[in-house]
Amino acid sequence: MTSCDGDRFSVYLVFAEPGGIFIQAASSLAGAGAALIAHAAQMFQTTELLMSDGSPFELDTVAAMLPMDGCVWILSASSDKPIGSIERRFLAP
């Protein structure tokens, strides 16, 4: 299992910014990342994304920065403005 596969007790929620509009729920970080990239391509005509600290958007980086019940912000590389977020929620068995 890689860091992008998720685990059976987590769900990943993708929100659009501004406004925190719900986009999609995913059972893996890879699915959440794909939803965010598709949103950025459709709404902002870009797939060049950055993490909130300015590093390139990579799923391994998201996995390292994402707490068990928390959120990471994703920015547009061209404007440095938030375009969305990925939240991880732990679902206790």
Show the tokens assigned to 16: 């659009």
Question: What is d(CA 61, CA 5) in angstroms, rounded to the nearest whole number?
Answer: 14
C-alpha distances (whole Å) from 27 to each of 5, 84, 91 are 8, 18, 11
What integer pLDDT is reported at residue 17 of this predicted model?
A: 86
User: Can you give the C-alpha Rg of the chain in angstroms?
Assistant: 12
Supply the pTM of this predicted model. Answer: 0.86
Better-scored residue on pLDDT, 47 or 68: 47
Mean confidence (pLDDT) of the chain: 88
pLDDT exceeds 70 at position 10: yes
What pLDDT is recorded for position 1? 39
For residue range 41-66, what is the model confidence (pLDDT) as tens digits?
A: 999 899 999 999 999 999 999 998 88
